[in-house]
Structure 1
Amino acid sequence: MENQRYIDYGDYNIWANNLIIDALSNVDEELLNQKIEASFPSIIKTVSHLWMAELGWLSRLEGKGWKVSEITNFSGTAHELFKSWQKTSNAFKSFVESADLEEKLHFEHKEESYSIPFREIAQTVFNHGSYHRGQIIMMMRQLGIADIPKTDYIEWVRQKENQ
């Protein structure tokens, strides 16, 4: 049952990502690429960053290293970007469901060695998603986008309990 909290958080991550995607799917692609003062210069760049983090960590957890060329070479539409992100979010959750989350990932980054339990990486990926979804919400408001979804964890809990 210990892994269940990470599986639940994976479900929440997918739910919240999908709410963002649904809201952004009705926005003109030009607006999604409009430069704005934020951690990343546009909504699309922020979504790409989220996708890269999920895909990079999933790849690393699967023993393939940090493989993100699919993203760095991506040249598709916003809709295609959203679909790829959704696919990665689902794959990340599937990994969490089947992995031994106590296993440690050993890797090198910037000449430093790390050894981190899979569960901590999963938690980091999910927290990272929440952080940047909040930034996307603020970017949407600044760009005058009216359809702003509520992606807080408590909203997911309420919706889950009402099903």
Structure 2
Amino acid sequence: MKQILTQYAQYNLWANRLVIEAMLALPTRSLNIEIESSFPTIKETALHIWSAEYIWLERLKQNPEPLWVQGIFIGLAKEMCNNWQRTSTELMTYIEGLDDTSLNAICSYSDRKGNTYTTPVWQVLHHVFNHCTYHRGQLITMLRQAGATAIPGTDFIGFVRMQ
């Protein structure tokens, strides 16, 4: 199980980097134009992905008051993307430090509404990667609508073929 989750973490980091490169190749104004999707702009969608990765990593580390970055971040897109990549790297490093017992351990956490839950660590990680993939797909569509012409392929099989 650790091998699979480590590979997903590596894939997540790789795919995020490709999308970030495509985002940052656009004029800044393009990242903030309104596009109908789960979130109103490319920047807000990317911020949501980073925020989710960050809060889940903090929950896994048993931080009792994890920060929801999306509610407070006001910086530039490049800073946001650098932080997003850093969080993805930290997530990968976190997984590399786990063993099968740790992966099966129960993570107790509260959502942002204060509801408490318990979930095995491996299921939390699976959720994080699935969530990122879902929203990266939205980013690809939004990038096209914003005028990006160099759209990266971010399918898992593309990552695997490079190995």
Normalising by structure 2, we get a TM-score of: 0.92
| 1:143 counterpart residue number | 146
Q: In structure 2, what is the equivalent of residue 124 of structure 1? A: 127
Structure 2, unaligned stretches of length 5 or more?
Answer: none
Q: Distance in 2 between matches of 1:52 and 1:69?
A: 6
Structure 2 residue 89 is the aligned partner of structure 1 residue 90: yes
- Which runs of no fewer than 5 residues in structure 1 stay unpaired? none
Amino acid at match of 2:127: T
2:118 aligned with 1:115: yes
Aligned residues: 159
Q: How does 1:1-163 map to 2 (within 5 A)?
A: 2-68=1-67, 70-99=69-98, 100-109=102-111, 110=113, 112-160=115-163
Name the Cα RMSD after superposition.
1.4
How far apart, in 1, do the equivalents of 2:133 and 2:64 lie?
24
Q: Does the C-alpha gap of structure 1 residues 76 and 20 become closer, same or farther in structure 2, counting only changes over 3 Å?
A: same
Q: Tell me by how many angstroms 1:50 deviates.
A: 0.3
Identity of aligned residues (%): 38
Contact (CA 8 Å) 1:56, 1:66: kept in 2 or not? no
Q: Structure 2 vs 1, CA of residues 24 and 62 (structure 1 numbering), >3 Å: closer, same or farther?
A: same
TM-score, normalised on structure 1? 0.92
Q: Distance in 1 between matches of 2:152 and 2:143?
A: 10
Runs of 4+ in 1 over 4 A off after TM superposition: none
SS of equivalent to 1:76: coil
